[in-house]
Amino acid sequence: QVQLVESGGGLVQAGGSLRLSCAASGTIFSIHAMGWHRQAPGKQRELVAAITSGSSTNYADFVKGRFTISRDKNTVYLQMNSLKPEDTAVYYCAAGSSVSSRYRWGFWGQGTQVSVSS
């Protein structure tokens, strides 16, 4: 059993920054990859960024150069810079495994709202 708790969401103006945090607890030895996903109203959930236990990272094209994913012990972060209104969504933390950037997410957090105003 793994529990993931997100924090750091909020309202920010376009061009601003936010840092999301995801704290993992429980049977964390089973976790080899963690990632951030987002889901905007009317859209499907999409992968934003992922990181493995070996610190290999993967980013969606629409956030490259703006977002950075990192890990510190049992916490994964998503530093979001140059935010755009299109980034508005509920952001979810996930944990699981990966093989050559093919991820299998077994655990999910409850999500944190990120709203970017024009």
- CA-to-CA distance for 109 and 90, rounded, in angstroms? 11
- Residue 28: the pLDDT is 81
Residue 73: pLDDT over 90: no
Residue 40: pLDDT over 80: yes
Residue 30: pLDDT over 80: no
- Residue 59: the pLDDT is 97
- Residue 24: the pLDDT is 94
The three-state secondary structure class of 85 is helix
Residue 52: pLDDT over 90: yes
- Residue 1: the pLDDT is 84
Question: Mean of the pLDDT values across residues 93-103?
Answer: 90
Residue 69: pLDDT over 80: yes
Residue 93: pLDDT over 80: yes
- CA-to-CA distance for 59 and 100, rounded, in angstroms? 14
pLDDT in tens, 56-65: 999 999 999 9
**Amino acid letter, 64:** K
- Residue 101: the pLDDT is 80
